[in-house]
């Protein structure tokens, strides 16, 4: 089946214009669907329909989805005024049009998803959605089941923010360090580091392992790969079913 779009969204996706501007094109009679001029904003179309704006045929952009194993030492931005290294220094130019879904700070590593699908970026980063993300965290200091319960119930990390995380694994202490596996559904700034620091401990390393069902696979540091069509379909289906969104 071909996905349906409201006419204003189809125009906006195809042209890069705002949805409001796209609505105005419809209202003013500049839009044709399958050879017929339309002015009804409730009109729905699919990629199989022939949609023209001022006589020019419109085509939806091709969406790309890339997973990338970010190494520590790089920031998640296209350019940096301080001249620091960015993830785009590691990615080929053909991927530079893709935007990262959320951020990993300079000292963190692991899974990043990059795409040009703005709706997906919104779902994965908007506070009203709670897509789980899994992390492996190495900390210095003590951590026990009471700390894990505190993380689950919520930790005041300052600035009026209560941070929560589910600790699903605590490895025995080794050389003064403990390995934790955490799942977050929030996306507060430097959340894990601030939660750990609240205990008086220190994060030695932090690596993201997954975003929902998307995992880092066996990618080595700085490696990337495209999600397959089947992986993209399953991911979108997962988001639609679990977070009541339409992509």
The position carrying tokens 């893709």 is 98
User: Whose structure tokens read 């952009």?
Assistant: 61
φ and ψ of 239, to 5 deg = -65, -45
Catalytic (active-site) positions: 105
Measured CA to CA, the distance from residue 121 to residue 247 in angstroms comes to 10
Positive or negative: CA dihedral 131, 244, 149, 161? positive
The widest CA-to-CA distance across the chain, in whole angstroms, is 72
What does the alpha-carbon distance between residue 65 and residue 84 come to, in Å, rounded to a whole number?
A: 25
Q: Alpha-carbon distance 22 to 241, whole Å?
A: 29
**Which residues contact residue 104 at a Cβ distance below 8 angstroms, ignoring those fewer than 6 apart?**
70, 76, 110, 112, 208
Backbone angles phi, psi at 130, to 5 degrees: -135, 65
User: What are the tokens at 191?
Assistant: 């959340």
| Measured CA distances, 127 to 96, 113, 119, 235 (Å) | 26, 18, 14, 19
């Amino acid at each position: 089946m071909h996905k349906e779009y409201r006419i204003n969204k189809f125009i906006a996706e195809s042209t890069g214009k705002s949805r409001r501007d796209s609505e105005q094109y419809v209202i003013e009679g500049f839009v044709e669907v399958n050879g017929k001029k339309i002015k009804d904003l409730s009109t729905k179309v699919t990629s199989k329909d022939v949609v023209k704006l001022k006589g020019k045929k419109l085509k939806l952009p091709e969406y790309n989805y890339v997973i990338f194993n970010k190494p520590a030492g790089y920031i998640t931005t296209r350019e940096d005024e301080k001249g620091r290294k960015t993830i785009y220094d590691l990615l080929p130019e053909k991927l530079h049009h893709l935007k990262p879904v959320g951020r990993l700070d300079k000292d963190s590593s692991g899974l990043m998803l990059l795409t040009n699908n703005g709706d997906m970026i919104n779902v994965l980063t908007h506070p009203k959605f709670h897509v789980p993300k899994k992390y492996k965290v190495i900390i210095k200091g003590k951590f026990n089941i009471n700390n894990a319960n505190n993380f689950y119930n919520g930790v005041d990390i300052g600035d009026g923010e209560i941070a929560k995380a589910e600790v699903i694994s605590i490895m025995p202490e080794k050389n003064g360090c403990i390995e934790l596996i955490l799942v977050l559904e929030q996306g507060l700034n430097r959340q894990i580091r601030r939660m750990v620091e609240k205990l008086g401990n220190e994060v030695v390393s932090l690596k993201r392992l997954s975003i929902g069902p998307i995992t880092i696979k066996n990618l080595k540091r700085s490696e990337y790969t495209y999600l397959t069509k089947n992986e993209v379909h399953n991911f979108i289906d997962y988001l639609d079913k679990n977070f009541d969104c339409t992509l």
